[in-house]
Every structure is written in structure tokens, then in C-alpha cells.
Structure 1
Amino acid sequence: MEITITSREIIKPLFPTPDEHKFFQLSLFDQLQLTTYLPMVLFYPNKEGITEPSHICAQLKRSLSETLSIFYPVAGRRKDHKFITCNDEGVVYLEAKVNHHMVEFLTPPRLEFLNKLLPCEPNKMHSNGETLPQVLVQVNIFNCGGIALGTCNLHTLLDGCSGSLFQISWAAICRGNKEEVPSPDFTSASSFFPPVNQLSLHDHVDQNNEDSSAQKMCATRRFVFSVESINILRAKAKDDDESSKPPTRYEALTAFIWKHMTLACKMECGDRSTRPALAIHVVDMRRRIGEPFSKYTLGNILWPVMVYSETVNADTSIKYLVSIAREKFGKLSKELFLRVKSDPSILGSTQCVDLPQGIEIRSPIPIVLTSWCGLNFSELDFGWGKPLWIGVRGGDQECLPNIAVIVETDAGMEAWLTMELQHIDNLEKDTEFLILALPNPSVSNI
């Protein structure tokens, strides 16, 4: 399969950013993010009556320029560890030709080529954050006229919710519904969680960003869980106490995934492995904090919920894993976030991270779990309908390992699991995992 870049340009805001908006202050949690790009590929099939690809590309560029005038920090570059300079340098925009029909690419999805539809390598740590664009776009045109829109959002500014807000606004402007564009909130995050001045924290963040030792050669696999499968998991995870709240889809599915990703990492050592297990749930704090935050607040408003288990083996029940996760989630409160607001130095202390002392010596197996459910990516209509399918990442590449991204589908939920090459095969050999999730099923209704 050939994917050829045919053009590359910089899209700048339609109107210059006013002088009073030239500097955008980052928040404390923006400062703590790794310098990586969050990827996504939206597939739009060619339908009868749809405008020619060349006109679609022109429409995308015009509307993107207009969107950047509203989301002016997205067109800027990081000045230092506290600010983005809103200097209208713009976003990188590429166009590419794919010598395949979309139906051939998606039945089943060719995950090994998915990253080629993206404008940069996803989930890879980058240095020189001050030169990186906040957003890159790649418009891929298939032989059939179908279009795959690949985007990469820099995590320094955009978390999943912020990225969704930007793309929802871009889509509304592109299809001519400017009145549906929400007003983004640029100030609440940095006002509530101001950036820190201490160089010690800044140096620590930069060191983490540029430390390539955390990256491994990884592969990504996609597993689709049907509604029936999820209901089976929820039944397995239900507490014996009838008065307790039934487990949510997310609770049951992430407990199941945590167990089997951990087992896959342990297989190389057999049952002799005594490494503890650590699930890191990346949680959106907007609803938990409430005002002044809303879904229109730009920035990284994320909190890592650390769930520790002394051991995870084949006999570990997902009911147990759900119960210990619930205990940790139950400790999240606005009061906790207010303590961080008044004293950022408590980050990393036992007040925020409830883990056994000296756990790092035992080399726990960390699994990062995050959900894109409810972010409405499947509703993104740029004027030619909603996406047929949404891809996250694929292929083999050097990146951060042991990450699971949960996405909603019409048929249930998808889990995109990225693991080291030596462990990903272990995951696919896990019989129980494959009973409830079939890898790479065909995409229907093309």
C-alpha cells in the first residue's frame, strides 16, 4: 500500500491574534504533561453528491484558518514552561494520496498502515517542545474519493476533552454552522491551577519528556467488545452485596483489560514473577471539580488515579479489581483538588498518591487506562456526514508502552492496547481475553 504526501503547508489564523492575547498561560497540569501527540483518524466514505476532494480540502483549510482565530493558542508555540506565545505560526497541514479504496483498507482495518495516515508519530516523546506545533493535520484521499482525516494534538495544551472541543468547533465552521461553535474558556485552568515557578519541577518535567528510556518498541492491537460481552463482564464484576451500585461499563472493562495486560507482561517470567500491578486511570476532573470548569475549558484538567494490587494472576477476579479501583476513585473530591490548588508541592506526596512506601524498588507493572467515551468524536460532521469509523494508532513503533484507550462504538466498545512487541503476542494468546474480544473484526456498513 502506498501513501504519498502530495502537499505540505502551514495554516494560520484567518485574523491576527490581538496583542492582548499574545501570551497564553499554561496551568500546573499542562506543565506536567509529557510532550507527546494524541492521534486520531476519522474515516469518511465517498457518498453520492459529495463535493470533489479538491473542494473538500479547500473547505477544510478555510474553516481551519477561521477556527484558529477563535482558538488562537492552538496556532502558537510554547515560549517556556509557563506560556504559549500566540504568534500565529499556525498548524501543519498535509495532503496525501492513498492507492487503495477505503473499503479495502477497512475490511478488516489495516492497522499496520494506520500511522501512515497521521501527520506525525503518535505517543512518542519529543524534545524541543518550544518548536513543536500544537496541532498537525493530514488529509488522506483514497482512490474511491473517500477521505481519512488524521490529526495529532500536542498534549501540552490539549487533552481529550480540549481536543474534542477544538474539532467540534472546526467541524461546525466547516459545514457552515458557525452559530453552533461554543465559546472556549481559556482562563479557568491556569487561574485555578496556576503554573509553578520552581525550576526543580520544570527540570523534572523536561527530564521526563526527553528520557527515551521510557519508550519501547511497541505494537497496537484493537479489540472490539460487544454489548453482550460487556454485560458478561459487568455480571462477573458485580459485588455480592445487592445494595451496592452495579459496575459501570468502564469499571468492568478496564478491570478486565488491566488483568490481562498485566498477565501478558508477566508471561515471560512464568508464575515466578512477583512484580505488583499498578493501574493508572487518567481521569477528567472537570465534572468532579465543577465550577469554574466545564467541557469548554481548554487545557489538561487530568488526574492520575493510582490503583495498586500486590499481585495479579490468572485467578484474580475482576470483581476484586473493580472493588479496589472504586475505593481509590472514591477518594477523589473537590477538597483534594483545592488542597493541590493551595499547595502544589503536595503532588506526588501520600496526600495525592496512595501507594505503599518503597513500591518503586519492586518495579510494579504500570498499565495506563484512559477513556474517550462521551467526547463525541463519532459525531464530527464536517459537511459530508459522520465518520464511518475512528482509528487511534497502529503499526510497530518506538513509543510509550502499556497504554489502553477505550472508545465507544455503535456495537459496544473498542479497546486500543499498545504494548511492547515481546508482550503483545502474549496478550493475543490469552484464551479468556479472546473469548470476550475478537481482534480486528471487519467494519460493517461501508
Structure 2
Amino acid sequence: MEIKFEIIGRETIKPSSPTPHHLRRYKLSSRDQYSPQQYIPVVFFYINPSHTTRGSGIDNGGDSYDETANVRSEHLKKSLSKTLTHFYPLAGRLRDNLSVDCNDEGADYLEARVTNCRVSNILERLDVEEMCQLFTTIPTDVYNSPLLLVQVNFFPCGGMAVCVSTSHKIVDGVAFSAFIKAWSCITRGFHDAVVPDFSAASSRFPPIEDFPVPSIVFPQISQKIVTRSNPRASRLLQHLFGNAQSLHLDHMPLGRLQLQVQGHALTGAVNLRPRLMPSLPKYAFGNVSGLLWAMLDNNKDEIIDLPDLVCQLRKGIEQSTDNNFTTKATYLMRAKKDEMDVYRHSSWCRFSLYEVDFGWGNPTYAVPVLMGAPIGIGLLDTRDGDGVELWMTLKEEDMALFQEDLELLAFASPNPSAI
């Protein structure tokens, strides 16, 4: 479905108080320097409780619709301005791969009016291409571009989609969750819920002045890719792993499964804040992540047991705190040149996305949107907090095989409704 909308407002939101001169230069850490030159887009859907009926009908709220939208938008803009005073690097500009000029140039803020569908129409299908349409502008060049972009989409049913994109050069999932929590709390009048630390990351991981290689750039996939979601993944995990406190793979239904290896790599980020000794503050800003990776030899005759694969992943997590991040990142870039399939894993669990209340209740659905993403796996908390939702992006032929797995189909249904 093509979502039709019109842009009804575009502003630059600056911090409510000028950033002091001694804070004008925010130093990147070496982890920031290696971070991808892309944005992290997340969308929060809010349904109007009085319009939850499914269907394609459009409700025109008239003046009351516009008045509610205007009031909410003003609240969001004012609170965003106050939040940027605390998260001032997001209002600056990345001038090089060493620092952010915290010059208060501000964040982009767009308002749009959707004209041909309800929020429920989108949530019934969970189509990634549809959700991507709610982000009209995502810069391709992170340098000298806004590091924060917000687009608020108002639907004629009274629902909303708040789309937030932050530059991955200075923000990881934990930093994003801290910012969005602070913004929602300030909107509701709580100003000290989150106190970010902007020096811990660069102190622990000093920037490399003579940076040897460019940032990691994950290429666009030339083959057609397909994304599917499954909010019942927790049932599948319970089926595989049971309720045991430790994993005993030999007793699992898939424990004896053998995988034909043809050159693959699994990589993902591990939050290092609590893992380092001494640990870093919970709200240390930036990319404070270790690189989890498991490389499977590019040998078509090699067979690996699932227990061995899990051991590699455990070892990767344990080694994510070591200091050879540069070597890992460089090797990962070389793996791409060798035409090895690289699967990116990203977990947004425990980031409290469903607690982002701007004053009109918690979101009905919240999800990072994979825009032109490489093949990979994403994990999210379910709305009730009792499960895990799985998103997978695979090549079309691989997705077809995956969806024919009878054991998986007993626990999963592709792109089910989120309402």
C-alpha cells in the first residue's frame, strides 16, 4: 500500500538553552569512529482508543482532529527543545570522524498528515516497506547533516506515528533508549529521569587521531530481500531451550542439527557498559558496544554441529570486551570483499520502547525500521513484556526455505497483526 500524506510543517528545533562554550566539542570514541555511517530509524505507533476498529474506512476528525494534532505537536517540540539541552551533541553537526561540533544548529522536525489510511491498517500487516514510507527524509551523508530527525505523522483516525532517526555515528541502542526516555519524561514534566554521561566513552576508548580505515559501511544487497516478523518467537525459544537455567543442546529438538557451511559470518553489538571493569555509567553516551562475531570457514565441505555454533557465539560474547576491536572491524570489512554472507544481529530487548509515553499513553507498537538493511536478525520485546519478537531479513530464496520449515511454522506466522 502506498501511504499518501502531505507535509504540513517543517522546523529546526534547537536546545532551549545555549550549549556552554566549554562543551562545544564532543569527542568521539574509537568505537564511534568505527560505527556505521547510517541512521537508526525507530517508529512509535499510537492508536486513538476510540478508533480501534479494523478496516479501510477513513475518519475525518475535522477541526477537532487538527486541534488535537496541533496541541500534541507543540508539546513535542517544546519538550524536544528542552531535551536537546541535556543531549546537546544531537543538536550539533559531525564535522569529521573525530568530534561533533555542538553548535546548536538543531534537529529536523517534520509534521505530516496521512490522508488514506489508519494506524491500524499499517499494524495489521507490519509491512516494512509501508513503515519506511513514514520516514520521508533520511540523509545519506552523516557529515554536516542533522544528527537527529523527527517526523510526526498524524492519521485521520486520530492516531499518530512518531518517527525518530538518530545518527549511528554517536548513538547506539542504549544511547537511543536513554534519549527517547528522557524526551518522553520531559514531555510529561519529569526533567531528571535520565542524566547522560558524555565523557565516559571517549575516556575509556580514546579516539584515533590518525584513523587508519573508514567507518564500517554495510553494503546494499543486490538480490531481492524479504523481511518477516514473528511476535511468538519466545514460544519457539522455549520449545528449543525449555525452562532450564543452562543450555543442554544434546537434549533439544534441534540439538543434533548439522549446518552446511558455505562461508557465513554472524555479527552483532554487545552492550559493554556493565561488562567493563570498572563498569561505565548506565547512560554513558555514544557507541559503547563490543563486536560479537562468529566466522564460519568458507569451505563447502565443512560441517558444523549446532552445539559448536552456539559455543562460538558464547565465545564471541565473552571476547566482546577485549581490545582488538580494530582487528575485528577490519576483518569484517574484508569478509564482505570475499563475498561472504554477513548476518547482522541486533537486540532491542530491555530498551523499554513500550514505555515511551509522551502524555497520551504507551505506544501500541514500537519497532526499529530496517531500511535497505543487510540480511540479519532483530529481536524486540513484545508489548506485554512477556516474550520476544523476531524480525528476519533474508535473501528471497533463503526466506522461502525458512518459511517451509514445518517445525518453525508450528510456532510462527509471517508478519501477523500487531493489534
1:105 is the counterpart of 2:122: yes
**1:343 aligned partner:** none
1:78 is the counterpart of 2:94: yes
1:45 is the counterpart of 2:44: no
Query: Which string of whole-angstrom CA distances, capped at 9 and with x for unpartnered residues, describes residues 154-206 of structure 1?
Result: 100110000010110000010112242x211000001111100114x2xx215
Query: Which string of whole-angstrom CA distances, capped at 9 and with x for unpartnered residues, describes residues 306-355 of structure 1?
Result: 11334799x9664443233223323445xx3xxx3xxxxx4444xx6899
1:16 is the counterpart of 2:11: no
2:403 is paired with a residue whose SS is: helix
Identify the match of residue 296 of structure 1 among 260, 272, 283: 283
Tell me which amino acid in the other structure corresponds to 2:104. D
Mapped partners of 1:247, 1:95: distance in 2? 52
Tell me which amino acid in the other structure corresponds to 1:61. K
**2:393 aligned partner:** 418
Q: 1:188 to 1:425 in 2, by over 3 A?
A: same
Contact preservation (8 Å) 2:19, 2:102: yes
Mapped partners of 1:196, 1:215: distance in 2? 33
C-alpha deviation, 1:366, in angstroms: 1.5
1:185 is the counterpart of 2:204: no
C-alpha deviation, 1:83, in angstroms: 0.7
Residue identity over aligned pairs, in percent, reads 29
C-alpha deviation, 1:3, in angstroms: 2.7
Mapped partners of 1:160, 1:312: distance in 2? 35
C-alpha deviation, 1:37, in angstroms: 0.8
Mapped partners of 2:411, 2:220: distance in 1? 34
1:5 is the counterpart of 2:22: no
C-alpha deviation, 1:279, in angstroms: 1.2
Query: Which string of whole-angstrom CA distances, capped at 9 and with x for unpartnered residues, describes residues 107-152 of structure 1?
Result: 233433100112435xxx934x322211111101111111111111
1:305 is paired with a residue whose SS is: strand
Q: What are structure 2's unaligned runs of at least 5 residues?
A: 51-63
Query: Within 5 A, what are the aligned runs for 1:10-409?
Result: 10-47=12-49, 52-98=68-114, 99-121=116-138, 126-127=140-141, 129-180=142-193, 182-199=194-211, 201=212, 204-205=213-214, 208-209=216-217, 218-235=225-242, 245-246=246-247, 275-310=262-297, 318-333=306-321, 336=322, 340=323, 346-349=324-327, 363-393=339-369, 399-409=372-382
Q: How many residues align?
A: 394
Mapped partners of 1:75, 1:361: distance in 2? 36
2:214 is paired with a residue whose SS is: helix
1:439 is paired with a residue whose SS is: coil
2:77 is paired with a residue whose SS is: helix
Mapped partners of 2:147, 2:87: distance in 1? 11
2:232 is paired with a residue whose SS is: strand
Q: 1:316 to 1:223 in 2, by over 3 A?
A: farther
Contact preservation (8 Å) 1:275, 1:363: no
C-alpha deviation, 1:421, in angstroms: 4.6
| Greater Cα shift, 407-416 or 374-383 | 407-416
Tell me which amino acid in the other structure corresponds to 2:380. V
C-alpha deviation, 1:88, in angstroms: 0.7
Tell me which amino acid in the other structure corresponds to 1:143. P
TM-score by length of 1: 0.78
Contact preservation (8 Å) 1:306, 1:355: no
Mapped partners of 1:381, 1:432: distance in 2? 38
1:328 is paired with a residue whose SS is: helix
Q: 1:35 to 1:431 in 2, by over 3 A?
A: same
C-alpha deviation, 1:291, in angstroms: 3.5
C-alpha deviation, 1:360, in angstroms: 7.4
Q: 1:235 to 1:276 in 2, by over 3 A?
A: farther
Mapped partners of 1:391, 1:141: distance in 2? 18
C-alpha deviation, 1:226, in angstroms: 4.6
C-alpha deviation, 1:430, in angstroms: 4.1
Mapped partners of 2:306, 2:30: distance in 1? 34
Mapped partners of 2:282, 2:223: distance in 1? 34
**1:434 aligned partner:** 409
Mapped partners of 2:417, 2:151: distance in 1? 24
Mapped partners of 1:13, 1:230: distance in 2? 44
Mapped partners of 1:190, 1:113: distance in 2? 38
TM-score by length of 2: 0.83
Q: 1:359 to 1:11 in 2, by over 3 A?
A: closer
Tell me which amino acid in the other structure corresponds to 1:16. P
Mapped partners of 1:212, 1:316: distance in 2? 27
Tell me which amino acid in the other structure corresponds to 2:378. V
Tell me which amino acid in the other structure corresponds to 1:414. E
Mapped partners of 1:291, 1:141: distance in 2? 45
Contact preservation (8 Å) 1:229, 1:436: yes
Contact preservation (8 Å) 1:34, 1:205: no
Q: 1:384 to 1:289 in 2, by over 3 A?
A: same
Contact preservation (8 Å) 1:167, 1:380: yes
C-alpha deviation, 1:379, in angstroms: 0.9
More helix by share: 1
C-alpha deviation, 1:79, in angstroms: 1.8
Q: 1:196 to 1:362 in 2, by over 3 A?
A: closer
Mapped partners of 1:355, 1:87: distance in 2? 36
